[in-house]
Amino acid sequence: MSRPRLDRRSFLASVAVLGGSLVLGFEIPFGPRATHAATSAREITAWIVIEPDDAVIIRVAKSEMGQGSFTALPMLVAEELECDWSKVKAEFAPPHENRKRDRVWGNMSTGASRSVSASQNELRRAGATARAMLIAAAAAQWKVPDAECTAAQGVIIHRPSGRSITYGRIAAAAAAVAPPAQVALKDPKDWKLIGTRQMRLDVPDKIAGKPIYAIDVQLSNMLYAAIVQCPVFKGVLKSVEESKISGMKGVRRVVKLADAVAVVADTWWQAQRVAQALPVSWDFGENATVSSATIRAHLQAGLTATNARIGRNDGDVEWALAHAVKRVEADYEVPFLGHATMEPQNCTAHVTADVVEVWAPTQDGETALAIAADAAGMPPSKVVIHKMMLGGGFGRRGIFQDFVRQAVLIAKEAGQPVKLVWTREEDVRHDFYRPVAMARLVAGLDADGTPIAWKIRAAGQSIIAAVSPRVMQFGVDRNFLQGLLEDMPYGVPNYLVDFAMRNTHVPVGVWRSVNHSQNAFFKESFVDEMAFAAGADPYLFRRKLLMGKPRQLAVLDAAANRAGWSASPPPGNFRGIALHNSQNSICAQVVEASVANDGKVRVHRVTSAIDAGYVVNPLTVELQTESAVVFALTAALYGEITIKDGRVEQANFHDYPMLRLAEMPRVETVIVPGDDSWGGIGETAVPPLAPALCNALFAATGKRIRSLPLKNHDLRAVP
């Protein structure tokens, strides 16, 4: 069997699977034997390999797509392991090995900002277990009690005699020690590494261009595939005039799929040019007349539908509204949104009679494995998944991995390795989008301007209905109401929230912060409307509603104080504020913005305060907050996927633009000390950005923004 050659940015780099681990700097044995390649490394536990030179390799079960898991998760292990952090490296735990080893690395899905919170206990115990095994091995060698030995910085010391031995020298013996049944974890006050600012382990190599992303994979005898998918969702392929491309240079074959056609060629450019020229006929089906207007009408009907499902019902909302001194009402709406990952969808696959081998940019290697097995018609035990670095994920590469299925189907027919790469146009037009949504909000205020009633009707498309209908409770997709149920931070005695599910033919999926993204916009914009109706300062109005919520109050105060809320902003600038609970964390943001005479919006400063409970790496919190601001600001200003004739109208960055460098505001992050909980930080700063910005624009213009994106609004000053 030939060996693959991986090339990136004009130099040769390669990888090897050693003892079931991916390690930079070697060549991959091609095929299933790769997972059993000989190695000099010492595996202490499934999570930890210690080499004779004292290098510590920590296996990471989660994907790395810029969010810092490749550093935070090893920090959790290293804290309890008591190793030298400067000698720590990280590698992916292979999904196929996870299956063979009874899922020793647990759930490999990477999403919902749960990489740390869902893994921390297991990883810390892995470190503590390995430390105990190392100490036991050293104590046995010295013939002394374990209790007389201690470990620090990768060295075991016998306290009475002063003898010492490094982890690397004792690792082989430690690997043979039976793991202890129970280990004690450190008290947080004794942490030395957790809570400190650490540079990400993957950054130096990324700066040098060394990591191999899935789109970089090069294999011997590899072909390339370009794909054209039915432009109307749920449409199917009717016919292809293959004779029109017969004899064209480099073309190897045309592969027909149920809703797409792929061209396989010697180079991707050849495949793409032919795919674009290939005469294809489609059966668009019943959805060919669907448009954004018809979808909007469908959702609007949901705002008055009688079959909505209740998510939360406190007190007697209708009675309280009837007795309110002042009533506030507003309708809000948001569009479909795409992920637009920097690395377009791609996958390399090789299917033989004995094995299916896949190189994929996946957020869930186990799902990729299951999809590949199903597509190839082979048992999961015959599938090898090489999990690569991701050029962005944001939820796109998790549950739905259509690119993996397509690559395996194409490679199976081609009979040799094939790399499938989507164009940006295919990527924009065939996403699993953030759902379109609307909300009708009604509140009743008493004579003091205090809300005594609040009713929210949400209408939109359910992700859960598409992904896992069994998760729905009595027909209610509670996930659609994220941020509005038990996690609603504000105390209003009479509160009702319900959901009218209005599904469409447009495929939807998880998008960074999922349904929190729209619900925070609805909720926090409307809180400002209530504050305005009450004649109250938006910040002080929120403080009043947060009495009895000390964590939320501390976060709100931290953001307001750092932003200088009590002082006037620079002339021409205006501020807005918002707060939202998500991923077991709390984030408050103050946005400072201005509006030029021509209506152009400029965001100057974003101040974020975050309580995520225990923080593993404060630097990662800051970086992820900055990333979230870019992501959320892009969506607020420009993000919009529209439908015409059943298909997406947008195609590339010219009509689905991203935030430019010159538009990036100054971002300040305040980490608020939390309680003994573990929250997420990858998505937490996304939801409050849009409402905080729109609240600032109301302060600037007097115009209330109730729909996104802002590009659709005329914010010019009224003469």
> What does the pLDDT read at residue 4?
35
Q: Taking 70 as the threshold, does the pLDDT of residue 41 lie above it?
A: no
Average pLDDT, the chain: 93
Does 301 share its domain with 277? no
Closest by Cα among 521, 433, 510, 560 to 682? 510
Distance CA 232, CA 506 (A): 9
Percent of the chain with pLDDT over 90: 91
Determine, yes or no, domain membership for 21. no
Percent of the chain with pLDDT over 70: 94
Which residues, at least 6 apart from 341, have a Cβ–Cβ distance to it below 8 Å?
A: 390, 391, 392, 393, 394, 396, 397, 427
User: Using an 8 Å Cβ cutoff, are 315 and 495 in contact?
Assistant: yes
Q: Which long-range contacts (CB under 8 A, 24 or more apart) does 650-653 make?
A: 650/338, 650/428, 650/429, 651/424, 651/425, 651/428, 651/429, 652/424, 652/425, 652/428, 653/340, 653/424
CATH of the domain at 412: 3.30.365.10
pLDDT tens for residues 186-241?
999 999 999 999 999 999 999 999 999 999 999 999 999 999 999 999 999 999 99
> What does the pLDDT read at residue 588?
99
Determine, yes or no, domain membership for 32. no
Q: Which of 366, 396, 421 is the last residue of a domain?
A: 421
Does 402 share its domain with 507? no
pLDDT tens for residues 295-342?
999 999 999 999 999 999 999 999 999 999 999 999 999 999 999 999
CA distances from 235 to 157, 230, 463 (A): 68, 6, 20
> What does the pLDDT read at residue 475?
67
Q: Which of 154, 173, 207 is the last residue of a domain?
A: 207
Model confidence at 10, in pLDDT bands (50, 70, 90)?
A: very low
> What does the pLDDT read at residue 719?
59
Does 478 share its domain with 366? no
**Token pair for residue 599?**
């209506």
Does 699 share its domain with 561? yes
Determine, yes or no, domain membership for 465. yes
Please name every residue paired with 587 in a beta bridge, in sequence order, or none if there are none. Answer: 580, 610
Does 396 share its domain with 492? no
Tell me the average pLDDT across 356-385. Answer: 98
| CA dihedral of 20, 26, 31, 35, whole degrees rounded to 10 | -10
Does 366 share its domain with 256? yes
Determine, yes or no, domain membership for 620. yes
Which residues, at least 6 apart from 224, have a Cβ–Cβ distance to it below 8 Å?
A: 264, 265, 266, 267, 268, 270, 271, 418, 419, 420, 421
Tell me the average pLDDT across 124-151. Answer: 98
Distance CA 658, CA 654 (A): 9
Domain count, the chain: 3
Distance CA 184, CA 127 (A): 11
> What does the pLDDT read at residue 9?
32
Does 123 share its domain with 97? yes
Q: Which of 151, 174, 207 is the last residue of a domain?
A: 207
Q: Taking 80 as the threshold, does the pLDDT of residue 90 lie above it?
A: yes
Q: Taking 50 as the threshold, does the pLDDT of residue 254 lie above it?
A: yes
Distance CA 367, CA 389 (A): 16
Which residues, at least 6 apart from 116, have a Cβ–Cβ distance to it below 8 Å?
A: 69, 72, 73, 76, 616, 678, 680
> Length of the chain, please?
719
pTM of the model: 0.92
Determine, yes or no, domain membership for 376. yes
Closest by Cα among 686, 579, 703 to 636? 686
| CA dihedral of 401, 403, 409, 411, whole degrees rounded to 10 | -130
Distance CA 719, CA 716 (A): 9
User: Kind and range of the H or E element at 608?
Assistant: strand 601-611
pLDDT tens for residues 454-511?
999 999 999 999 888 777 766 678 899 999 999 999 999 999 999 999 999 999 999 9
Q: How far apart are the first and last CA of the chain?
A: 75
Determine, yes or no, domain membership for 46. yes
Neighbours of 208 (CB within 10 A): 11
Model confidence at 246, in pLDDT bands (50, 70, 90)?
A: confident
> What does the pLDDT read at residue 687?
99
Q: Taking 90 as the threshold, does the pLDDT of residue 22 lie above it?
A: no
> What does the pLDDT read at residue 15?
25
Does 508 share its domain with 448? yes
Does 222 share its domain with 270? yes
> What does the pLDDT read at residue 611?
98
Distance CA 88, CA 83 (A): 8
Determine the 3-state secondary structure of 581 from DSSP: strand
Give the full edge-to-edge strand order of the sheet including 155-158.
149-152, 155-158, 164-166
Neighbours of 536 (CB within 10 A): 19
Look up the domain containing 387 and give its range: 214-284+345-421
Determine, yes or no, domain membership for 31. no
Q: Taking 80 as the threshold, does the pLDDT of residue 24 lie above it?
A: no
pLDDT tens for residues 589-617?
999 999 999 999 999 999 999 999 999 99
The answer to whether the peptide bond before residue 709 is cis (omega within 30 degrees of 0) is: yes
Closest by Cα among 572, 232, 137, 261 to 430? 232
Does 517 share its domain with 604? yes
Which residues, at least 6 apart from 366, have a Cβ–Cβ distance to it below 8 Å?
A: 95, 98, 99, 107, 108, 109
Q: Which residue has the tokens 């072909």?
A: 223
Model confidence at 8, in pLDDT bands (50, 70, 90)?
A: very low
Does 62 share its domain with 196? yes
Determine, yes or no, domain membership for 19. no
Does 268 share its domain with 306? no
Which ranges constitute the DSSP H helices of 468-549? Answer: 516-534, 538-545
Closest by Cα among 153, 47, 144, 41 to 97? 47
